[in-house]
Amino acid sequence: MVLDPRDLHFSILFSAERHLARIVHPLHTITDFCKLIRRTNDGLKRCENSDKTAFRVACEKKKPYIYECHAGLVDGVIPVLLGDNPVTFVMFGQFLFEPPNEEKFNEVWRKVEDLKIPYDELREAYFSLPVFPREYVWCMAEGIFEILREISLQIMYLLFPQEKEREGVTEVEQWFTQQERQMLHFLNKERDLLSLFHWASGGTVKENLEKVLINEMEQGEGVFWERRSRVWGLITTLLSHLRRFRASSQIDFLELTYQYVTMLRYCENIEEFKEILSRIVNDLVAIRGELSYKTSIVERVKEYILRNLNKEGLCLREVAKRMRFSPYYLAHLFKSVEGISLGRYIRNTRIARAKELLRSTGLPVAKIAEEVGFKDTTHFCHVFKRATGMSPSQYRSKT
């Protein structure tokens, strides 16, 4: 699925404290579906009331608010805070979390039927609405909120400085000096890392990248979320570099970025963040690395699968966690080398091992099922027959 952020239909609404202005600046045109709704006076009023309710909730919560509008579409509001006061709102919406179908459209039609909109026109417009994954939207909204929060904090420093002198230097001057030092420090890190990406070996890149990112989290200046933002900036710089030089034509870098945001979103402390960073570093090095490096990773994955074949929970997510890669990248890497998905490889390996045990031992079928990771014997027999065309007992008797 190709995700185009323009289909989120961003707008900016200006407010004066809690009194909402009626001037909305659209960054992109509205969808045909919303045009049909707003073409009627009642429909327009419902849209405005739905938005106003959302603004009030966002003001009270002081964080992004994503909701279903009166007509069944997904909308969202991101408050921009100056201190504790919302001064602006970033709005987005006019999309769905799940692909449209007839049942869902009928639910929408019942909500707006009284607006007397032509049924066929509305149906066509509904089935043309963009679709975005729920996690993608939440990560995007929270990412924008954090960026805007950092900007607003810097504005507060400028607008409301404490003029108390500290050895002849005001806090404003101290703040500018600190920001300049941090920026120069970070630009030097980016430059050094990009240079390593050009010429260094995979091991050297991995060692330096992991060291820089983790040191920034442990020893960098600012609160946790500020350090997390700076580290994320380094990661996106490297992703942009890899995309620009076509390091891997099979990777959807937008999807990979979304996966990383999802992984990092729930990190509440440095230890969790370090664990996720280690997996991201492995991804970046492998994307940049030579085929032989990728092949060695796949061989280690296959060895791990063989050693843990009796574990019922053996799956892509579990293997990726043990190998310290993101599930998204490991799935792409494995398929690019082996030609089949990792999940199918696990199933094939289980069946192959079951065949071997059926031929060479007298173990009961139930025991063999456990040996290859199936706690339910009936399910094992079903999977085995689907793969071989015969039951385990039939296979044993023929061999």
pLDDT tens digits along 96-146: 999 999 999 999 999 999 999 999 999 999 999 999 888 778 877 877 787
> Is residue 318 predicted with pLDDT exceeding 80?
yes
pLDDT, position 169:
45
Strand 85-95: give its sheet, edge to edge.
Answer: 19-26, 11-16, 85-95, 74-82, 65-68
Kindly state the tokens that stand for 42.
């009642």
Q: Are residues 64 and 95 in contact, defined by beta-carbon separation less than 8 angstroms? A: no
Mind listing the pLDDT tens digit for each residue in 53-101?
A: 888 888 888 888 999 999 999 999 988 877 677 778 888 889 999 999 9
pLDDT value at residue 195: 59
Whole-number pLDDT of residue 21: 36
User: Which residue do the tokens 């007397």 mark?
Assistant: 116
Most confident of 82-96, 162-176, 250-264: 82-96
Q: Which domains does the chain have, with CATH numbers?
A: 5-133+141-153 (no CATH), 169-288 (no CATH), 344-398 (1.10.10.60)
From 152, 6, 128, 141, select the one nearest 76 (Cα to Cα).
Answer: 141
**Range of weakest confidence among 9-23, 70-84, 207-221:** 9-23
pLDDT exceeds cutoff 50 at 184: no
Reported as a single tens digit per residue, the pLDDT across 223-242 is 566 666 667 767 777 776 66
Q: Which residues pair with 76 in a beta bridge?
A: 66, 92
In angstroms, rounded to a whole number, what is the distance separating the alpha carbons of residues 44 and 104? Answer: 22
Instruction: Select the more confidently predicted residue: 44 or 243.
Output: 44
- Tell me the HSE value of 392 on the side-chain side, using a 13 A CA sphere: 27
The SS3 call for residue 244 is: helix
Task: Give the span between the Cα atoms of 244 and 259, in whole angstroms.
Answer: 19
In whole angstroms, what is the distance from residue 295 CA to residue 304 CA? Answer: 14
Identify which of 28, 25, 2 has the alpha carbon closest to the alpha carbon of residue 12. 25
Residue type, 396: R
**pLDDT of 396 above 60:** yes
